[in-house]
Amino acid sequence: MDYAAALLAKLPGTSPRRSKDLRRLIETLESYIQDDQIEQVTKAYEFGALAHAGQTRMSGEPYISHPVAVAQSLAEMRLDPQTIVAAILHDVVEDTDIPVSILKEEFGEEVAALVDGVSKLDQMHFTNRAEAQAESFRKMMLAMIEDIRVILVKLADRLHNMSTLDAMPREKQARIARETLEIYAPIANRLGINHLKVALEDLGFRYLYPFRYAVLKRALKRSKGSQRQIVKKISERIQTAMEEENFFGEVHGREKHLYSIYKKMAEKKRLLSDVVDVYGFRIVVDDVNTCYRLLGIVHGLYKPMPGRFKDYIAIPRINGYQSLHTTLFGPKGLPLEVQIRTKDMDTVAEAGVAAHWQYKAIDKTTAGPQRRARDWLSHLDEIQQTGTSEEFLESVKVDLFPDKIYVFTPKGDILPLPKGATVVDFAYAVHTDVGNRCVSAKVDRTLVPLRTTLENSQTVEIVTARGAKPNPNWVTFVTTAKARTAIQKYMRNMRSSESVDLGKRLLDRSLKDLGSSLRKVGKVRLREALDELDLVEPTNLYSQLGLGERLAPLTARLLIGIPDDADDETTTANLVIAGTEGMVVSYGKCCYPIPGDDVMGYLSSGRGVVVHRNTCGNMINFRKQPEKWLAVSWEEGIDRDFSSEIQVETVNKTGVLAEVAAVIAASESNIEEVSVINRHQDVSSMTFLLQVKNRVHLARIMRNVKNMKNAHRVSRDN
Q: Which residues does the annotation mark as catalytic?
A: 94-95
Parallel/antiparallel/unpaired status of strands 575-577 and 599-604: unpaired
- Please tell me the distance from the alpha carbon of residue 199 to that of residue 163, in angstroms, as a whole number: 9
Q: Is 614 exposed, middle or buried (0-12, 13-18, 19+ CB in 10 A)?
A: exposed
HEC string of 329-381 equals ECHHHCEEEEEEEEHHHHHHHHHHHHCCCCCCCCCCCCCHHHHHHHHHHHCHH
Q: Distances in Å between the alpha carbon of 117 and those of 81, 184, 326, 412, 512? A: 17, 16, 41, 39, 58
Interacting residues of 303 by C-beta distance below 8 A, sequence separation 6+: 328, 329
Cβ-contact 268, 294 below 8 angstroms: no
User: Which conformational region is residue 148 in: left (phi greater than 0), alpha (psi within -120 to 50 degrees), or beta?
Assistant: alpha
* Nearest by Cα to 374 from 98, 626, 144, 670: 144
Task: Judge whether 649 and 685 are in contact, CB under 8 Å.
Answer: yes
**Alpha-carbon gap, residue 206 to 212, rounded angstroms:** 8
Give the Cα separation of 617 and 638 in Å (integer): 26
Give CA–CA dist 315/323, Å, rounded. Answer: 9
- Rounded to 5 degrees, what are φ and ψ at 630? -150, 130
Neighbours of 283 (CB within 10 A): 26
CA distance 474 to 487: 8
**Rounded to whole angstroms, how far apart are CA atoms 142 and 108?**
21
* Residues near 312 by beta carbon (within 8 Å), at least 6 away in sequence: 321, 322, 323, 324, 325
Q: What distance in Å separates the CA atoms of residue 718 and residue 615, rounded to the nearest whole number?
A: 8
| 90: Cβ contacts below 8 Å, ≥ 6 apart | 67, 70, 114, 115, 118, 119, 153, 157
- The greatest distance separating any two alpha carbons of the chain, rounded to the nearest whole angstrom, comes to 111
Q: Please, which residues bridge with residue 685 across strands?
A: 649, 678
Half-sphere exposure for 132 (CA within 13 Å, toward CB):
11
Buried residues in 541-558 as b, exposed as e (16+ CB within 10 A) = bbbbbbebebbbbbbbbb
What DSSP string describes 459-481?
A: BEEEEE-TT----GGGGGT--SH
Q: Are 509 and 546 in contact (CB under 8 A)?
A: no
In DSSP terms, 281 is beta-bridged to: 253, 338
Cα–Cα nearest to 212, from 161, 177, 254, 163: 177
